[in-house]
Chain A
Amino acid sequence: MTAEFGLAALWLAAALAALQLFAGALALTRKGEALGGAVRPAAVVQGLLALASFIALVIVFVQTDLSVKLVHNNSHSAKPMLYKLAGAWGNHEGSMLLWVTVMGLAGSIVALVERRLPEKTMLATLAGQAFVSLGFYAFLLFSSNPFTRMAPAPEGRGLNPLLQDPGLAFHPPTLYIGYVGLSIAFSFAIGALITREVSPAFARAMRPWVLGAWIFLTLGIVAGSYWAYYELGWGGWWFWDPVENASLMPWLAATALLHSCSVLAARNALRAWTVMLGVVAFSMSMVGTFLVRSGILTSVHAFAVDPERGSFILALLGIYIGGALTLFGLRASTVTEGERFAVVSRESALVFNNVMLSCTLGIVLVGTLYPLLAEALGQQVSIGPPYFNPFTAIFVVPMLLVMAVGPLLRWRRDEFGRVRKGLILPALAGLLVLGLAISWKPAHVLPVIGLALAPAIGIASLLPLRGRKLRQVKLPLWGMVFAHFGVALSLFGMASDSAFTSEKLVAVNVGEKVAVGPWQIGLKSIDPVAGPNWTALEAVMEARYHGGDAITLHPQSRSFWSPPQQTSESALVTRWNGQLYAVLGDESEDGRWQLRLWWKPFVPMIWFGGILIAFGGFLALLGRVASDLRRIVARNKISYRRQRQGR
């Protein structure tokens, strides 16, 4: 019954989305104005129905109802509860249902609280949101129904062991929420284009959604990168793989959008550009989904690959993005760019960084898709780190430099001389590290640049707080400080990893000792262990940092039985100044065990910095939402008073 209830709720939600679209579109015409009143309630109920449908799917998975095809294909009664839950969204159909649910709920919230835009713009926005949702409802109902029944089977096939990992249980939904959040920004952009209302109010209405989406995208990328780092077992954390790039591209666009929103909100400039980025950010989300689902490019991370799904997503991509860009071509020339500003000004710094982010996005997009173009021309090329690292650095390095200075500048017009004094300290720090780094005779330029830039922008990111009373600093400013400091930290981790990592690949007997970096590691024993749905060989290792106390590590080589697969579980020791990474390999013929060991100085800073970036976003969001709420309350008080006075 639960499955049927879920399916019914899904159909109803789709019907309401259709109502929302048509009522919204008609209300924009003179004749249909009366229909406008139906749009907001339809949006709210649509979101709740989608949620009901998703809850039904989760229940079906928790009960392991094997008469539902999706459960049979992706679950198993012997699986831990966390992964039964994760099974609900760890597959194509379930993740699409999660997609429409998040989209519907976000639409509900917009419909309930957003009142500062002109009503017509809101109607156009909600109609746009319904239009986007409808495509995904159609996708679910006609091609990826999660509730399809089958003859009950004795047991399920289990979840891919790859996905049986806490990190991966939450990494895809986090990214998805980010992707979907950008659909709201997209709808706002459409609404603004249709009604030609691109204003600071539009930027303020859109900004919390962009911030929210951006926070989730950041966390999703951080989680995905850390997962790849400890799960793949070779110590790498970013491979420029097509699927990784698919998550990076929306993030780059959203980062640019976030900053151009600030310019539009504060200074009524960059109007067409902001709208454009709203469209681009969501199209990158759709491209990301397409690349992952279609399997058009070979990737380590591709799962649930299916060309038919690919063509459906591609069709949606064509309709939405092609449509939006046509609308942009028609309308954008009537949306003027707004206020101008001087070359040295806060706006100018933000514009520069917007351009650099967009160019980085361009490099990643073209580099990711170029092998496809080559294939279409009958050739094969591979584009990897040797291309992406230097070519993105061309834009990222100047961007980071400007990021250090920009927040110190005033809006509209400023003199560089005014901020020059403040920058002496970060510049000195950067030059000092640069000198040190060069004296170590580095093999590569990029890590050196990274090592020098990190302290400079780290210090510079704190400068906006100088001379202020910290208790009076507003949350959005704190947010910016945290996020920019996070960038510096993350950069430091990346540079340090590529400059200072020590690697040791050895075959040892039980009882032998190995040195890697400052660590002494002894292999104590190899024991068989068993988990809920796997067995493993587990190495017991004793590690001593500079001869200090012994720390025990347990890397495993795991065998799952449903479905039968092998994974290697690395063991990590995290210290403030780095991470020890140990992997157990195979046994060689002479009875020695293959070990892979790395000492990676400061590598956790990569993800810690990423979390700080997201936290900065969260503070900014909190600040914005709080001030929005205060305004809503104040407005309600005023209208309440007016009502009473009127009576």
Chain B
Amino acid sequence: MKRLLIALMLLFSGPLLADDTMPPAPYANRQLDDPKLEAKAHELMLTIRCLTCQSQSIADSDASMAGDLRNQIRQRVAAGEEPETIRQWLVARYGDYISYAPQVTSLTWPLFVLPAVLLLLAALMLRRRFTRKEP
């Protein structure tokens, strides 16, 4: 199914048209022995976007490049790197696109003030709705 989706996506995206037959990287589908480190790595993988299968995280993808990214992330985490450092390392190469966790930037700040704006709007509109005395 994933392969189908990948194939479909690739039809649109052009460059890749076939999938390789290379076996997956050592840590693509193998967990780290230390459950704490594995949890750290897994959590990061859930928020890294797969580049060849569009709208999916590398943690839920069968694409080989996602597997290679999982491998690299697990190895880096095992080597003691912090997940956020790895995220920044990836963002330096692929831009904010690769991270599902938007950073506060000049472009994305409205996303982060949105809850306050919504609450303010609601308060403005509801201001006259209530009465304290029996009508």
Give every chain B residue within 8 A of A235 (Cβ-Cβ). 60
B23, A387: Cβ atoms closer than 8 Å: no
Closest A residue to B43 using CB positions: A443
Give every chain A residue within 8 A of B17 (Cβ-Cβ). none
Return A558 CB to nearest CB of chain B, in Å: 9
Taking a contact as CB atoms closer than 8 A, the residue among B53, B111, B131 that contacts A367 in the complex is: B111
Q: Could you say which of A161, A351, A386, A443 has the most chain B C-beta atoms within 10 Å of its C-beta?
A: A386
Give every chain A residue within 8 A of B49 (Cβ-Cβ). 382, 384
Give every chain A residue within 8 A of B7 (Cβ-Cβ). 565
Report if B31 contacts A (CB, 8 A): yes
A161→B7 CA distance, assembly (Å): 14
Taking a contact as CB atoms closer than 8 A, the residue among A359, A377, A387, A585 that contacts B119 in the complex is: A359
A341, B54: Cβ atoms closer than 8 Å: no
Report if B1 contacts A (CB, 8 A): yes
Return B4 CB to nearest CB of chain A, in Å: 4
Taking a contact as CB atoms closer than 8 A, the residue among A233, A351, A386 that contacts B101 in the complex is: A386
Report if B114 contacts A (CB, 8 A): yes
B100, A234: Cβ atoms closer than 8 Å: no
Give every chain B residue within 8 A of A588 (Cβ-Cβ). 23-24
Stretch at the interface among A17-25, A500-508, A611-619, A623-631: A500-508
Residue pairs across A and B with Cβ atoms less than 8 A apart, 26 shown, are A232-B2, A235-B60, A241-B55, A299-B55, A300-B53, A300-B56, A337-B129, A340-B130, A342-B132, A343-B132, A359-B118, A359-B119, A370-B108, A380-B95, A381-B107, A381-B108, A383-B102, A384-B100, A386-B101, A387-B111, A391-B111, A395-B115, A505-B29, A507-B30, A566-B4, A568-B62
B135, A339: Cβ atoms closer than 8 Å: yes
Which A540-588 residues sit within 8 Å CB-CB of chain B? Answer: 565-568, 585-586, 588
Closest B residue to A366 using CB positions: B114
Report if A65 contacts B (CB, 8 A): no
Which A487-519 residues sit within 8 Å CB-CB of chain B? Answer: 503-507
B46, A385: Cβ atoms closer than 8 Å: yes
Which B119-135 residues sit within 8 Å CB-CB of chain A? Answer: 119, 122, 126, 129-132, 134-135
- A521-555 interface mask toward B, CB cutoff 8 Å, 1 = contact, 0 = none? 00000000000000000000000000000000000
A381, B131: Cβ atoms closer than 8 Å: no
Return B124 CB to nearest CB of chain A, in Å: 11
A512→B2 CA distance, assembly (Å): 27
Return A131 CB to nearest CB of chain B, in Å: 29
Which A159-179 residues sit within 8 Å CB-CB of chain B? Answer: 161-162
Report if A413 contacts B (CB, 8 A): yes
Which A237-261 residues sit within 8 Å CB-CB of chain B? Answer: 239, 241-242
Give every chain B residue within 8 A of A343 (Cβ-Cβ). 130, 132
A358→B110 CA distance, assembly (Å): 18
Report if B73 contacts A (CB, 8 A): no
B97, A382: Cβ atoms closer than 8 Å: yes
A505→B54 CA distance, assembly (Å): 23
Give every chain B residue within 8 A of A29 (Cβ-Cβ). none
Closest B residue to A272 using CB positions: B125
Give every chain B residue within 8 A of A242 (Cβ-Cβ). 55
**A-B pairs with lowest CB-CB distance, top 4:** A384-B100, A386-B101, A234-B60, A567-B1
Report if A596 contacts B (CB, 8 A): yes
Taking a contact as CB atoms closer than 8 A, the residue among B57, B59, B100, B115 that contacts A394 in the complex is: B115
A111→B110 CA distance, assembly (Å): 46
Q: Could you say which of A342, A381, A565 has the most chain B C-beta atoms within 10 Å of its C-beta?
A: A381
B56, A340: Cβ atoms closer than 8 Å: no
Return A533 CB to nearest CB of chain B, in Å: 15
Return A325 CB to nearest CB of chain B, in Å: 16
Taking a contact as CB atoms closer than 8 A, the residue among A385, A565, A594 that contacts B47 in the complex is: A385
A317→B5 CA distance, assembly (Å): 29
- B1-34 interface mask toward A, CB cutoff 8 Å, 1 = contact, 0 = none? 1111101010000000000000110000111000
Given A386-B100, A588-B23, A366–B111 Cβ distance below 8 Å? yes
Give every chain A residue within 8 A of B54 (Cβ-Cβ). 298-300
B115, A363: Cβ atoms closer than 8 Å: yes
Give every chain B residue within 8 A of A341 (Cβ-Cβ). 129-131
Report if B69 contacts A (CB, 8 A): no
Which B32-49 residues sit within 8 Å CB-CB of chain A? Answer: 39, 42-43, 46-47, 49
Give every chain B residue within 8 A of A118 (Cβ-Cβ). none
Give every chain B residue within 8 A of A387 (Cβ-Cβ). 100-102, 111
Report if A37 contacts B (CB, 8 A): no
B108, A233: Cβ atoms closer than 8 Å: no
Given contacts A236-B60, A300-B5, A300-B55, 8 further A-B contacts (CB under 8 A): A235-B60, A341-B129, A377-B107, A379-B107, A385-B46, A386-B100, A395-B118, A566-B4
Report if B99 contacts A (CB, 8 A): yes
Return A277 CB to nearest CB of chain B, in Å: 13
Q: Could you say which of A242, A351, A387 has the most chain B C-beta atoms within 10 Å of its C-beta?
A: A387
Given A351-B126, A363-B114, A503–B31 Cβ distance below 8 Å? yes
